[in-house]
């Protein structure tokens, strides 16, 4: 079956001029404001009644994430803001550190952000934790806060206890939404997820989430990603997305998930690094997102999701890839196209297309399911072996393997429309977009590594006279294969020291690139988007 890329979507966006949100004296990054909405008329009356409860549960994830990332009082911090612009910037960053500028503080009297955020005691050392965790593995659990007991020792406090008030209230809202759910699969998932918030046992609801097929509304909620824990990468942050499925788009995309086993076999590494078989129940769906909360809403905004993260669930059932097409379109129109107009060679700008941007983003998420989840030498899972470097390397893997997959599909004739050159040039322009997320972001570090690797490999060149970049298509394809091989080998070996060297050598913004990023800022091109969202947007007063 040939798979056409037929993408045509619209998005309404209200752009706030650079420097207005926030004021330049607050932070160096500007944002465009984008309204998250959808046609509520497509939902049944019961589905419309579900939405407020899901949003209220999501708002509680916001409360928890603030406590996970900032040790002080949120209210006191906001009340201490020197201006409305600074207050807005605190909300965007969930604290006083600029997430898109290496987590530098933008408020007086605030020190460096702890690498472990608020998951661990501020006076704890890595050595102390590792020694204690050897005797008490719960300290390294995804779902525990680490605090000092009365005797000064490190103790693991389950999330269900640390955030008891918030998870109880969120669970109740989700149960009410479950009672309103007309789809049995969605109802079952919501009931199990409501229970999971109270028990910290998320695998049953993850499995139920993978098994539901006919739901129009989707709700991602709970402690999920570990990006915020930059000390060990162990602790999961709370977040939420409220989503409406685009049924027609999702039907078009379904074929791609069926190709995963064959693409796994084609990876450019020895067999031992691709011995795992991706779950055959993986899904690929398109959504309009109508609410972000918690970790998902902090700093740079996610435009696609690949879940669950549980390696056992992935091997059993695969993952679901969610393409957030309205947010994706906003970033393309408001950010990527202006960047390309400044930094891509004029005769290659024709290859900057939304179809390619959508496909590159989509296959990034698909690629999370490829490769290897468990080391080949008994060092546990890749996430356990690589610790604080696991997230950045996994994001780098997904980016480059996504492009590897697209190349394979073009070569096999599975994609007939468009041009592979579109994907390559759009990919290069996208690096400029997301490298601006800075060193504090796993995605930002992954982009720096890839940019520097590709540049050193000769995959693109820079014309100093025009300040623009040009893709060398043959070398670009070779660089994709070589970086794929290197990352998959590091993951399979669980080579923490090797990854650390890679990050140290290539996970930096070199002076030449910084000059070009400064040009983007001087032209007022926003770094990212923030959202106008909630029931007042979805159902404005008549």
Q: Is the pLDDT of residue 261 over 90?
A: no
E strand residue ranges, 187-268: 217-225, 237-245
Give 480's contacts (C-beta < 8 A, 6+ positions apart): 400, 403, 404, 407
247 close to 217: Cβ distance less than 8 angstroms: no
pLDDT at 29: 65
Q: pLDDT tens for residues 51-98?
A: 999 999 999 999 999 999 999 999 999 999 998 889 999 999 999 999
Q: pLDDT tens for residues 159-212?
A: 999 999 999 999 999 999 999 999 999 999 999 999 999 999 999 999 999 999
The least confident of 9-13, 236-240, 500-504 is 9-13
Q: Is the pLDDT of residue 419 over 60?
A: yes
CA pair distance 378, 369, nearest whole angstrom: 21
Q: Is the pLDDT of residue 539 over 70?
A: yes
pLDDT at 279: 58
pLDDT at 446: 83
Q: What percent of the chain has pLDDT over 70?
A: 92
Nearest Cα residue to 304 out of 486, 136, 434: 434
Q: pLDDT tens for residues 79-88?
A: 999 988 899 9
Nearest Cα residue to 76 out of 59, 104, 96: 96
pLDDT at 21: 41
Task: Return mean pLDDT, the chain.
Answer: 89
Q: What confidence tier does 263 reach under pLDDT thresholds 50, 70, 90?
A: confident
CA pair distance 103, 106, nearest whole angstrom: 9
Q: Which two tokens stand for residue 53?
A: 């409860």
pLDDT at 425: 98
Q: What confidence tier does 16 reach under pLDDT thresholds 50, 70, 90?
A: very low
User: What element of type H or E holds 259?
Assistant: none
Q: Check whether the bond before 431 is cis (ω within 30° of 0).
A: no
428 close to 469: Cβ distance less than 8 angstroms: yes
Q: Is the pLDDT of residue 380 over 80?
A: yes
Q: Is the pLDDT of residue 439 over 80?
A: no
Q: Is the pLDDT of residue 20 over 50?
A: no
Q: Which is higher by pLDDT, 236 or 109?
A: 236
pLDDT at 337: 96
402 close to 360: Cβ distance less than 8 angstroms: yes
Q: Which two tokens stand for residue 243?
A: 């989503």
CA pair distance 296, 36, nearest whole angstrom: 14
The pairing of strands 283-294 and 320-324 is parallel
CA pair distance 478, 480, nearest whole angstrom: 5
Q: Which two tokens stand for residue 507?
A: 């996970």
Residue 513 burial (CB count, 10 A):
18
pLDDT at 379: 87
Q: What percent of the chain has pLDDT over 90?
A: 66
∠ CA 181-42-537, rounded to 5°: 90
Q: What confidence tier does 415 reach under pLDDT thresholds 50, 70, 90?
A: confident
Q: What confidence tier does 367 reach under pLDDT thresholds 50, 70, 90?
A: confident
Q: Is the pLDDT of residue 100 over 90?
A: no
Q: What confidence tier does 541 reach under pLDDT thresholds 50, 70, 90?
A: low
Report the pLDDT averaged over residues 256-272.
Answer: 85
pLDDT at 6: 32
Sign for the CA dihedral angle at 309, 310, 311, 312 comes to negative
Q: Is the pLDDT of residue 41 over 60?
A: yes
Q: Is the pLDDT of residue 13 over 50?
A: no
Q: What confidence tier does 304 reach under pLDDT thresholds 50, 70, 90?
A: confident
Q: What confidence tier does 23 reach under pLDDT thresholds 50, 70, 90?
A: very low
396 close to 487: Cβ distance less than 8 angstroms: yes
Q: Is the pLDDT of residue 121 over 50?
A: yes
- The Cα-based distances of 290 to 206, 219, 323, 462, 485 in angstroms read 22, 10, 13, 39, 38
CA pair distance 539, 542, nearest whole angstrom: 9
Q: Is the pLDDT of residue 542 over 60?
A: no
Q: Is the pLDDT of residue 282 over 90?
A: no
CA pair distance 84, 123, nearest whole angstrom: 33
pLDDT at 280: 57
Q: Is the pLDDT of residue 338 over 50?
A: yes
Q: Which two tokens stand for residue 128?
A: 């102390």
pLDDT at 12: 33
């Amino acid at each position: 079956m040939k798979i056409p890329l037929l993408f045509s979507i619209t998005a309404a966006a209200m752009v706030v001029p650079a420097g207005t949100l926030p004021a330049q004296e607050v932070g160096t990054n500007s944002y465009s404001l984008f309204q998250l909405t959808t046609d509520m008329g497509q939902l049944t009356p019961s589905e419309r009644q579900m939405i407020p409860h899901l949003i209220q549960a999501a708002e509680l994830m916001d409360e928890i994430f603030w406590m996970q990332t900032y040790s002080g009082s949120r209210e006191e911090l906001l009340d201490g803001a020197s201006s409305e612009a600074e207050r807005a910037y605190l909300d965007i960053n969930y604290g006083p550190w600029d997430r898109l500028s290496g987590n530098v503080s933008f408020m007086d009297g605030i020190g460096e952000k702890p690498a472990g955020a608020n998951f661990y005691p501020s006076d704890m050392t890595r050595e102390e934790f590792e020694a204690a965790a050897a005797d008490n593995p719960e300290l390294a659990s995804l779902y525990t806060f680490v605090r000092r007991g009365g005797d000064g020792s490190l103790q693991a406090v389950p999330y269900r206890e640390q955030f008891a008030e918030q998870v109880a209230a969120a669970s109740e809202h989700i149960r009410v939404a479950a009672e309103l759910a007309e789809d049995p699969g969605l109802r079952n998932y919501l009931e199990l997820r409501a229970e999971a918030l109270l028990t910290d046992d998320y695998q049953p609801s993850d499995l139920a989430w993978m098994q539901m097929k006919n739901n129009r509304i989707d709700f991602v909620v709970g402690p999920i990603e570990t990006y915020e824990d930059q000390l060990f990468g162990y602790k999961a942050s709370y977040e939420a997305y409220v989503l409406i499925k685009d049924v027609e788009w999702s039907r078009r995309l379904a074929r791609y998930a069926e190709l995963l086993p064959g693409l796994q076999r084609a990876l450019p590494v020895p067999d031992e690094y691709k011995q795992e078989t991706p779950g055959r129940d993986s899904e690929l769906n398109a959504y309009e997102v109508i609410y972000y909360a918690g970790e998902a809403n902090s700093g740079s905004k996610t435009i696609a999701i690949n879940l669950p993260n549980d390696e056992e669930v992935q091997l059993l059932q695969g993952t679901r890839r969610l393409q957030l097409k309205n947010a994706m379109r906003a970033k393309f129109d408001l950010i990527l196209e202006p960047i390309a107009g400044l930094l891509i060679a004029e005769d290659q700008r024709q290859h900057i297309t939304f179809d390619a941007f959508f496909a590159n983003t989509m296959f990034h998420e698909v690629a999370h399911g490829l490769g290897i989840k468990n080391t080949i030498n008994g060092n546990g899972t890749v996430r356990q072996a690589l610790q604080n470097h696991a997230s950045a390397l996994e994001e780098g893997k997904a980016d480059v393997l996504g492009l590897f997959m697209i190349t394979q599909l073009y070569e096999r004739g599975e994609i007939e429309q468009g041009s592979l050159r579109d994907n390559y040039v759009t990919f290069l322009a996208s690096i400029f977009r997301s490298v601006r997320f800075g060193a504090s972001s796993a995605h930002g570090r992954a982009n720096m590594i890839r940019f520097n690797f590709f540049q050193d490999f000769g995959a693109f060149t820079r014309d100093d006279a025009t300040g623009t970049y040009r893709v060398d298509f043959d070398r670009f394809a070779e660089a994709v294969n070589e970086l794929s091989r290197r990352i998959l080998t590091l993951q399979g070996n669980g080579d923490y020291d090797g990854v650390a060297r890679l990050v140290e050598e290539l996970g930096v913004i070199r002076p030449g690139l910084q000059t070009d990023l400064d040009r983007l800022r001087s032209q007022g091109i926003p770094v990212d988007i923030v959202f106008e969202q909630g029931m007042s947007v979805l159902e404005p007063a008549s």
